[in-house]
Every structure is written in structure tokens, then in C-alpha cells.
Structure 1
Amino acid sequence: MMTPPTASVDMGLSIEKMEKVAFILKTTAHPTRIAIVQLLAAHESMSVTDMSEKLNVEQSLLSHHLSGMKLKGILSSHREGKNIFYSLKMREVIDVIQCLAACTFL
């Protein structure tokens, strides 16, 4: 694992915290994935069909993003009949997205 460079200004980030934030940013670094996080932050769980309708994204593309995020441990899922429901497993993702939303330069 690569050691992060020493920052000239201490922002209170431990190496562990930097690694976790970097992981979250890499895993969610796509507008559709960020939209998925926002949607699941507002709902306990949602089906792929419901998310597809809310986000206006093809189910196949959405499923691709969802399965990748699940493999990385960001999301969890369960099946009810023919529907697969997803929910946030790593709740810290919400905090990272909220921090980015609060940035004044964006």
C-alpha cells in the first residue's frame, strides 16, 4: 500500500481516514453512482425498477453500477420475488457526499 504524502497543513486526517475517503471517492466517482447514494440515503431500500424510474437511467446500466458498488461493500441487496432491493451498507458514504456538496467552489 502506498504511503500518502505528508500535507503541509494538518487537516486532522489520519492515514486510515485518508484511505477510507479515497476508497469511497474512487468507488462513487460517477454521477450515476452519486445519484444512487443520494437516493438510498433518502430511502431505507429501493428496487432496481424504482431507482431506474427515479433516476431516468436504463435498468441494465443501473444494474452495472449497483453490482460494482455492492462488490466494493458500499451497498447491500436482498431479493423479494423478482425484485432486487438495494440499501446503503457503508453509511459513511453519505458523509463524504454531503461534504462535497458543501464545498463552496463547486
Structure 2
Amino acid sequence: MAQMKPTIQINRERLEKVATILKTVAHPTRLAVIDLLGTQERMSVNDMCEILDCEQSLLSHHLIVLKQRGILHHVKEGQNVYYSLKNKDILKLIACIENCDCSL
């Protein structure tokens, strides 16, 4: 008599969402922005450039990607644009991966 395989359901939509988030944050500059904004309520592009020691054009590119994917929120005040985390739960992802016992 043949054994029956257990029914396993995979929520592909959920996994696609997770993969998109991981792909979005999988860059050292983007992770640095998220980490930095985890310590500050909001920051201007100029302040982030100074702290992260990177060119404004490069940082702006990464900020646009994070904003388009719904990770960052922005507010324009006069000539300055201030960024903040839309949801601080993204910091849990970084902490979880940081504590992962993987040999890389």
C-alpha cells in the first residue's frame, strides 16, 4: 500500500512579499539608512550624507528605492527633505539576520 504524502501549502504571495523586502534592503547603504533612521525620528538627506560619508546622488538613489518599496516616509519642508521609517518593524529583520548563526 502506497504511503500518502502530507499536504503542504506554501503561500507564494507571502513569500514574494518577503523576497521583495529582502531584495530591497540587501545593500549596505540601504541597511545603513535603515539602521540610522532606527536611532533618529527623522533625518535630512544632507545629515545622512554627512554621517554615512557618501555622495548625495548615490544616497538619493537608495532613498528613492526604499521610498518606492514603502520602507521610508518623506516630508518636504522648504528646501529640505526629511526621511523616516514607515514601520520600525524593519529593524527587527536586521536584528534577526544579525543574530543569525550562519557561517558566511
The TM-score bracket by the shorter chain reads: 0.7 to 0.9
Do structure 1's residue 41 and structure 2's residue 38 form an aligned pair?
yes
CA 1:42/1:52 → structure 2, altered by over 3 Å: closer, same or farther? same
1:94 is aligned to 2:91:
yes
Q: Name which of 4, 9, 18 aligns with 1:21.
A: 18
Work out which of the two has the higher radius of gyration on C-alpha atoms and give 1 or 2. Answer: 2
Give the alignment partner of residue 78 of structure 1, picking from 48, 52, 75. Answer: 75
SS in 2 for 1:42: coil
Q: For structure 1, which segment, 21-30 or 56-65, has the greater mean C-alpha deviation from structure 2 after superposition? A: 21-30
CA-based RMSD of the aligned residues comes to 1.8
**TM-score, scaled relative to structure 1:** 0.79
Correspondence for 1:103: 100
| Fraction of identical pairs, as percent | 53
Q: Distance in 1 between matches of 2:35 and 2:18?
A: 17
* Conserved 8 A contact 1:48-1:85: yes
Indicate the residue corresponding to 1:7 in structure 2.
Answer: none
Q: Report the Cα offset of residue 80 of structure 1.
A: 1.4
2:28 maps to which residue? 31
The letter for the 2-side match of 1:97 is I
Residue of structure 1 aligned with 2:50, choices 53, 73, 81:
53
Tell me, yes or no, if the aligned pair for 1:24 and 1:93 is still in contact at 8 Å. no
Is 1:68 the counterpart of 2:62? The answer is: no
String of CA shifts for 1:22-50, please: whole Å, max 9, x gaps: 22211111000000000001111000000
Q: Is the 8 A contact 1:44 1:87 kept in 2?
A: yes
What is the rounded CA distance, in whole Å, between the counterparts of 2:99 and 2:53 in structure 1? Answer: 25
